[in-house]
């Protein structure tokens, strides 16, 4: 009987705790904090006679920096390769030298971008962009 009572008390506690209001300071829908907008205007080119891949994108006004991710497959694992502070320029840029160029036949490097800003000592990352590669 005692075991049954403990189980009932535990279930009631769980149900009641789910109905309580919770506050997460990094949850944009509850905190009033606006996350960085999605990175747009991404253009990727193989530059300087196959020396590096150049990535340009539009500056996100409410970002403090950008994360750059790369994969060898469009739907593969994207590894963060760089964290770049935002500049005051309208067009941001990054040069990726850590690739094999020219790429082996049939190979592309795919990139995703996201903007971030600092909130209460933590990094709040915005949505990642769609995968992009050179044309």
pLDDT greater than 60 at residue 26: no
Asked if 129 contacts 112 with a C-beta cutoff of 8 angstroms, the reply is: yes
Entry pTM: 0.75
pLDDT grade for 1, boundaries at 50, 70 and 90: low
User: Cα dist. 124→6, 25, 30, 33, 49 in Å?
Assistant: 41, 10, 14, 10, 37
pLDDT grade for 83, boundaries at 50, 70 and 90: very high
Please provide residue 128's backbone torsions phi and psi, each rounded to the nearest 5 degrees: -80, 150
pLDDT grade for 105, boundaries at 50, 70 and 90: confident
Instruction: Break the chain into its structural domains and give their ranges.
Output: 36-125
The Cα 15–Cα 33 span in angstroms is 29
The larger pLDDT score, comparing residue 78 to residue 24, is at: 78
Question: Residue 35: which residues within 8 A CB-CB, separation 6 or more?
Answer: 28, 117, 124, 125, 126, 127
Q: How large is the average pLDDT for residues 59-76?
A: 93
User: Cα dist. 64→15, 46, 101, 123 in Å?
Assistant: 40, 27, 31, 10
pLDDT grade for 28, boundaries at 50, 70 and 90: low
CATH 3.40.50.1370 applies to domain 36-125: no
pLDDT grade for 103, boundaries at 50, 70 and 90: confident
| pLDDT above 70 coverage of the chain, percent | 87
User: Cα dist. 51→69, 91, 98, 99, 113 in Å?
Assistant: 19, 21, 10, 9, 21
């Amino acid at each position: 009987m005692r075991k049954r009572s403990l189980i009932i008390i535990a279930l009631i506690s769980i149900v009641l705790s789910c109905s309580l209001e919770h506050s997460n300071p990094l949850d944009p829908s509850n905190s009033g904090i606006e996350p960085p907008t999605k990175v747009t205007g991404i253009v990727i080119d193989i530059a300087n006679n196959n020396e590096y891949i150049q990535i340009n994108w539009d500056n996100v006004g409410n970002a403090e920096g950008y994360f750059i991710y790369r994969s060898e497959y469009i739907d593969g694992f994207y590894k963060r390769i760089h964290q770049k502070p935002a500049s005051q320029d309208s067009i941001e840029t990054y040069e990726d030298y850590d690739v094999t160029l020219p790429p082996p036949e049939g190979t592309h490097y795919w990139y995703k971008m996201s903007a971030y800003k600092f909130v209460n000592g933590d990094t709040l990352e915005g949505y990642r962009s769609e995968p992009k590669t050179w044309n």
